[in-house]
Amino acid sequence: MGLTTSESSSALESGASIETTSNGDAEHPSTAGLPNEPLITIERSTSWKPADLSELWAYRELLYFMIWRDVKVRYKQTVLGILWVIIQPLLMILIFTLLFGRLAGLEHLTGGIPYPLFACAGLLPWTFFASAITNSSNSLVGNAQLITKIYFPRLIIPAAAVVAGLVDLALAFLILATLMAYYGVGATGSLLLVPVPIMLLVLLAFSVGMFLAAMNVKYRDIRHAVPFMIQFWMFASPVIYPTTLLPERWRWVLALNPMTGIIEGFRAALFGSRMNWNLLGFSTAVTFLLLLYSCFAFRHMEKSFADVI
């Protein structure tokens, strides 16, 4: 609706500018400078639309603060603090060396690698994986107050729980470096390949943790089942034993586990041994399939988080 003559003259006397639209109609000063197109479009979500991973980058500042919060809360009011990152793997390496390296005689099947170093190279990625799954599967329930009060991409919560574990993994590398120096195992050019299995490890942990976090909102039995699943998964992975322990005709069963290719690739990159690209490629394919399925499942269940949680 246009302005009257008296309204136009009073607006000009007060110093306000009046803009006209393309069709000649006058525009009120309070609406001047507003965009012609909407900045945010709200659409009805479909059941088969996957979670938008680009939101992790769009809300990267929030992701950073949630990662930092998870790291601080984990060791808050602890006596040893960050030292637990080193103590826990050291104790596990000691126990596995005595039980499996000495008593079971697995140190003769490691391809010349000292068993404590062999076990450490398997425990470091596995400890990160187990911790990331445990923390991310409980992350949505643990942040129920945030989910029910404000909007932000829910995907950030399990993602922050997984990425926060990389701090522990980086510190645990001090144990690996110390053991390599102690046993005289030098670094080779294959160390440049270490980021490849680590990236797959993070994606696999994120895929599994994201799915379990969404399931845990609706079915609280998940938090009780996760420790059993992790324990079984560990013994189904070559963490404390080499894949050569199994007969040739049964190794394909072990290869179905995506952690097999990741752990074996991690060891090969560390110690300069032959990389099994077929096994690593299969683990890569399984990881991305799990990531795709988890994105669809998470988006489908996300709509009811605030109501159910």
In a domain, 256, yes or no: yes
The 10 Å Cβ neighbour count of residue 210 is: 28
Residues sharing a CB contact under 8 Å with residue 40, sequence separation 6 or more, in sequence order: none
What distance in Å separates the CA atoms of residue 272 and residue 193, rounded to the nearest whole number?
A: 10
pLDDT of 290 over the 90 cut: yes
| Number of domains into which the chain is organized | 1
Q: Is residue 213 part of a domain?
A: yes
**Structure tokens of 233?**
């998964």
Q: What is the pLDDT of residue 6?
A: 45
34 in a domain, yes or no?
no
Query: pLDDT digits over 166-224, tens only?
Result: 988 998 898 899 999 998 888 788 889 999 999 999 999 999 999 999 999 988 889 89
Look at residue 303 and tell me if it is in a domain: yes
**30 lies in a domain?**
no
196 part of a folded domain: yes
Q: How many CA atoms lie within 13 A of 234 on its CB side?
A: 21
pTM given for the model = 0.80
How confident is the model at residue 72, as a pLDDT?
Answer: 81
Model pLDDT for residues 31-44, shown as the tens digit of each residue = 556 666 665 555 55
264-272 average pLDDT score: 92
d(CA 154, CA 156): 5
Query: For position 262, what pLDDT does the model report?
Result: 96
Q: How many whole angstroms separate alpha carbon 203 and alpha carbon 173?
A: 20
**Cβ-Cβ contacts under 8 Å for 199 (sequence gap 6 or more):** none
Mean pLDDT of 136-164: 88
Average pLDDT, the chain: 82
Q: Give the three-class secondary structure for 117.
A: helix
240: Cβ contacts below 8 Å, ≥ 6 apart? 96, 100, 106, 119, 122, 123
- Nearest residue to 129 via CA among 265, 51, 237: 237
Could you list the residue range(s) of the whole structural domain that residue 282 is in?
49-308
Beta strands in the chain (DSSP E): 19-20, 26-27
Give residues with Cβ within 8 angstroms of 89, minimum separation 6. 120, 123, 124, 127, 172, 175
Q: What number is the average pLDDT over the span 276-280?
A: 92
Residue 124 lies in a domain: yes
CB-based contacts of 180, cutoff 8 Å, min separation 6: 117, 186, 187, 270
* Single-letter code of the amino acid located at 300: H
In a domain, 158, yes or no: yes
Which of 52-56, 117-121, 181-185, 300-304 is least confident?
52-56
